[in-house]
Amino acid sequence: MIDVMKVGRNIQFLRKSSSFTQQELASKINVSHQAVSKWERGESLPEIDSMVHLSKLFNVSLDDLIDRDLTTYPHETIIDEGNVSVIWDHVLSVMRTKVNRPSYDTWLKNTEARVEHDSVIVISPNECSTDWLRTRYKRPIREAICQLVPGYSGEIIFRSST
């Protein structure tokens, strides 16, 4: 039998670890913030499609989301092609809140991320952007990655697409 309270604690832990409000999480998985609140209080369980969205968003298996106490369970520290786009979307949403709009539009908006071995490769449109990102934004980018992948210890490498 599924422990509704454990699932709720896991959802709340993952949401807070990612610095999402209940409203932001609800928006990302197309449910109401009231639904997220009920899950976190252990009053109800997410529908299966919401569980799938949650597991993909937070890079955890459905088994882990349902059966483990994620507040004490060590998280995966590997970023791969299967999750790098979700992680990069998270990084960009965090960075939108940390820098002003002109800076975001100039330096971050047109970036993408790839994975090589266990390194995240940040691709920017030109060398100037690459240098700027490396010198100004490497630390907050790492912090945003670590919100979704606690303990991530891989390299963050900056390259231009030109």
Give 99's contacts (C-beta < 8 A, 6+ positions apart): 107, 108, 137
**Which range has the top average pLDDT, 5-14, 24-33, 79-88?**
24-33
Could you write out the DSSP letters of every residue in 79-126?
Answer: --TTTHHHHHHHHHHHHHHHS-HHHIIIIITT-EEEEETTEEEEEESS
> In the prediction, which pLDDT does 151 show?
67
Give the tens place of pLDDT for each residue, 108-156.
999 999 999 879 999 999 999 999 999 999 999 988 888 777 667 789 9
> In the prediction, which pLDDT does 134 show?
96
> In the prediction, which pLDDT does 97 show?
87
Q: How far apart are CA 78 and CA 109, in angstroms?
A: 25
Give the tens place of pLDDT for each residue, 72-87.
655 555 687 877 888 8
Instruction: Please give the helix or strand (H or E) that residue 37 lies within, else none.
Output: helix 33-40
The share of the chain scoring above pLDDT 70, in percent, equals 94
Q: What length does the chain have? A: 162
The more confident residue out of 73 and 26 is 26
Q: How far apart are CA 70 and CA 101, in angstroms?
A: 35
Walk me through the domains of the chain, giving residue ranges and CATH numbers: 4-67 (1.10.260.40), 84-160 (3.30.300.180)
> In the prediction, which pLDDT does 73 show?
52
Give 100's contacts (C-beta < 8 A, 6+ positions apart): none
- Pairing between strand 119-124 and 156-160? parallel
> Does the predicted model carry a pTM greater than 0.75?
no
